A = this chain, B = another copy of it.
């Protein structure tokens, strides 16, 4: 759970009380919309899904271009948006960056939409 704890400044880590429990403040609405926008894009959804499906739940950008049928600059751009939103964790090792899902990030976003 360390990855989640080390990115407290991101939308995914900070956001929010459940949508249907209390009226969302304007500030929380802004923050949660920003988080949802990061994932509300077909290629980014597929990237998250492909990373989650890896045996060690981690993927190099070199593993991701072929399955989504896009070039590396475009894939890297999408990955950066997901990292900035706190959904993905980026780990540079040698020449490649490896991406994994921040533990708890998707669960927290889901819990704002609908409390368990």
Complex contact A107–B101 (CB within 8 A): no
**Cα of A94 to Cα of B44 in the assembled complex, Å:** 43
Copies per complex of this chain: 2
Q: Judge whether A106 is part of the interface by a CB distance below 8 angstroms.
A: yes
Contact with B along A26-65 (1 / 0, CB 8 A): 1001101100110111111110111011000000000000
CB-CB under 8 A from A33, the residues of chain B are 39-42, 44-45
CB-CB under 8 A from A50, the residues of chain B are 23
A interface SS class: helix
**Cα of A30 to Cα of B111 in the assembled complex, Å:** 22
Of B26, B41, B43, B113, the residue contacting A46 (CB under 8 A) is: B26
Complex contact B40–A23 (CB within 8 A): no
**Cα of A53 to Cα of B18 in the assembled complex, Å:** 11
**Cα of A36 to Cα of B110 in the assembled complex, Å:** 11
- Interface size, chain A (Cβ < 8 Å): 35
**Cα of A99 to Cα of B28 in the assembled complex, Å:** 22
Complex contact A29–B52 (CB within 8 A): no
Q: Judge whether A109 is part of the interface by a CB distance below 8 angstroms.
A: yes
